[in-house]
Chains A and B, each alone.
Chain A
Amino acid sequence: MSADVPRHDTRLDRFVDSYAARTHGMKVSAVRALFAVANRPEIVSLAGGMPNIHDLPLGDIASNVAEMILTNGAKVMQYGSGQGEPRIREQICDVMALEGISAHPDDVMISAGSQQGLDLVTRIFCDPGDVVLAESPSYVGAIGTFLSYQAEVVHVAGDDCGIDPDALRETVARLEAAGRRIKFLYTIPNYNNPSGITQPWERRVEVLGVCRELGILVVEDNPYGLLSLDADPVPAMRSVDSDVIYLGSFSKTFAPGFRVGWVLAPHAVREKLVLAQESATLCPPVFSQFAISTYLEHSDWQGQIDAFRTMYRTRRDAMLKALADHMPPGTSWTHPIGGFFVWVTLPEGIDAQAMLPRGVDARVAFVPGAAFFADGQGARNARLSYCFPPAERIIIGVERFADVVRNELDVLDIFGVRAPTKHPQAAGPGAETY
């Protein structure tokens, strides 16, 4: 090597030593990269949580939005209120009334999807090292938000009815004895993402009782609440406890592209959320708020939700039947009564994340269960979603998934590996796990 070549020493990021500590956990991952193939038409993706919005009345929406721009364009494309536009906040109160919530528009704040609402709630409550309690398993996007604020996520054990009140009490006692500061309990009581389970009303009351007794704030995330597939929705926790912070969304009942969600919070909390919102975005998307407001005003949105429910019911039924028809012995799964997801517990020894490349080769995508835990649990689990592919594709996808599991079991049997992971036990709800 000639000595005249100057030596170049680089980490390919000039700012690598400047990032905040909370950024250090933000890394590329092989699992994430494997999902790059999930959008290809050859792949049956049972991974994503995208709602199927093909059946929306697009022509009506287009003409209503066009009319909105022509008559009110200067306003809908202008900056707006940090709290959100008054009219849509009134309409949101009507939406929440369907789940038993009585609220005043003044206590509603609009957010850019409920994900941003959750971000703002975490921002105003969590310091580094604080604890957020969450279900076992819990929504991956929420876990990511909590971790980005350097909070620690502690999962509370549950059963087929959701959070176990005794486990909640024990967890709080243990953490408080260790001097930890618990900021809130994050829960998705309706058709949980990823488990698909629903907390019955009695369980909600029990959990609320424990939280009230122990002084734990409850954050109720309810994006799927109106998408019940078998019965009327269970009333929201917020319907009986006005201290609950409630997150709502139009992403699943209308369309996610508008990025409009909301937070219903006690007055003092709401004031801080609005200040946080103003520092984050000045105001939530005004155009989207007016567009949704117009939709709620002029379209049969409840009829559309009924149509969605019928469509998702068909898909859910197709998935459950296909699972029953094809999965090998030792597999169990939840039976959601609403929402988008089934939580699968795989035969002992399987690590769903290690199995994912086999799924890509077999042209089926799923989400390994470990993504839904902050502590390494969930290796034996996978989340399957039935929201996006049509029923016939779901059946093909489950057939492929079953083959993938069988082939993985075959290799495990060769090596006699029955518990290769740090957390070999199944995690989360579903038959056989409790």
Chain B
Amino acid sequence: MTVIVISGGLSHERDVSLRSGRRVTQALRSRGHQVVETDVGTDLVPLVRSTKDPVVIPMLHGGLGEDGALREVLGLLGVPFVGPTGAASRLTFDKSIATRVVANAGLSVTRQVALPHDIFRELGAPALMQAIGDQIGYPLMVKPSRSGSALGALKVADQESLATALVGAYAYGPVAVVERFIEGTELAVTVLEGDNGLRALPPVEIRPTSGIYDYEARYTAGATRFVTPAELPPETLRAAQELAVAAHEALGLRHLSRTDMVVAADGTPIFLEGNVAPGMTETSLAPLAFEAAGMELGEVFSSLVERARGDR
């Protein structure tokens, strides 16, 4: 068997992806796996097809790594791969659709509206922005609907700053989501599929020293404090884990996922977004959860590779 780790790509998160890919590759090699590390390009399909007994790990963040496109191709080729199918990835990667699916499953979500920029042209931006403020209220969050690592995401305190935040989000794609900002404890809960079914790992609490978990706080070592398991009552931690498993199932995910959520003042965990290719960098959240659960990165991916082969 040869494991093919795909990282890089042309998305805005290429740098993060390369770092994730490198770590997973090293972890698997240290356990004796034969691993080929590759980027996305015209030589990818020939590589996959010419490799004997391949298992692919799409360690791509954003773009065609998470929007399902590459996974559809792998499915077409009949190549086993780690992580959700193309369809589930596509659905999860789009925050506006994922939030709706999770809400329909009866889970708590924040109030959200997804808007392409053209709607502001058609209806007039001032009136629509006024309506957003009236209905959702400030502070609110503006995010690109299909992006990760908090790129293009901004907390907006008042109407005056809303237009600039929307312009910033639309630089990452044609649709932005606007959602109510919920004050609370930020958590990331990793869900891992094992022989005994789905298992939610200890929730990681995120405490950025700057107060905002933006790109800088995510990838600068030392800029954020992580507490695992989160400093919350046991019943709240359990509720957070249940939410992550339920979201994983509602979104049709498999093998591995990470759900980002916020625990509101009343102790309710609220779904923010799902991740089909959680980051595996030195400062990423899922590896912290593995560690808290007593697992090593290589051990996790070894087992996922075997699981992917079995799912073929």
Contacts and interface: CB of A to CB of B under 8 A. Distances in A.
Interface string A202-228: 000000000000000000000000000
A354 B167 contact: yes
Interface in B1-26: 10-16, 18
A33 B215 contact: yes
Interface of B: 10-16, 18, 117, 120-121, 125-126, 129, 149, 151-152, 163-164, 166-168, 170-172, 202-203, 209, 214-216, 219-229, 231, 234, 237-238, 241, 282-283, 288, 291-293
Given A36-B14, A416-B126, A30 B216 contact: yes
A27 B202 CA distance: 28
A8 B293 CA distance: 11
B18 A27 contact: no
22 contacts: A1-B234, A5-B292, A11-B224, A12-B221, A12-B226, A28-B219, A28-B220, A30-B216, A33-B12, A33-B215, A37-B14, A43-B10, A351-B167, A357-B152, A357-B171, A358-B171, A408-B167, A411-B117, A414-B121, A415-B120, A415-B167, A417-B164
The 5 A-B pairs of least Cβ separation, nearest first, read: A1-B237, A16-B222, A36-B15, A13-B222, A30-B215
A40 interface: yes
A416 B125 contact: yes
B202 A1 contact: yes
Interface of A: 1-3, 5, 7-13, 16, 27-30, 32-34, 36-37, 40, 42-43, 351, 354-358, 360, 363, 408, 411-412, 414-417, 420
B139 to A, nearest CB: 18
Nearest to B14: A36
B170 A11 contact: no
B216 A13 contact: no
A13 B129 CA distance: 42
A423 to B, nearest CB: 14
Pick the most buried of A2, A9, A10, A43: most chain B CB atoms within 10 A of its CB.
A10
Nearest to A29: B216
A8 B225 contact: no
A130 to B, nearest CB: 27
B10 A40 contact: yes
Contacts, number: 124
B267 to A, nearest CB: 13
A9 B220 contact: no
A7 B232 CA distance: 11
Nearest to A35: B15
A10 B282 CA distance: 12
Pick the most buried of A37, A358, A360, A415: most chain B CB atoms within 10 A of its CB.
A415
Contact of A27 (B12, B125, B223, B227): B223
Nearest to B173: A361
Nearest to A36: B15
A2 B237 CA distance: 9
B164 A13 contact: no
A412 B167 CA distance: 7
B226 A11 contact: yes
Contact of B167 (A1, A5, A36, A417): A417
A404 B202 CA distance: 43
Given A1-B229, A13-B222, 7 more contacts: A9-B225, A11-B223, A28-B216, A30-B151, A32-B15, A33-B16, A36-B18
A7 B163 contact: no
Contacts of A27: 216, 220, 223
A5 B10 CA distance: 39
Contact of A7 (B10, B151, B229, B234): B229
B171 A408 contact: yes
Nearest to B63: A361
B162 to A, nearest CB: 9
Contacts of A420: 163-164, 167
B198 to A, nearest CB: 16
Contacts of B164: 417, 420
Contacts of B225: 9-11
B227 A7 contact: yes
B71 to A, nearest CB: 21
B130 to A, nearest CB: 13
Nearest to A355: B171
Given A13-B222, A357-B171, A415-B125, A5 B215 contact: no
B231 A7 contact: yes
Contacts of A37: 10-12, 14
B164 to A, nearest CB: 4
A411 B292 contact: no
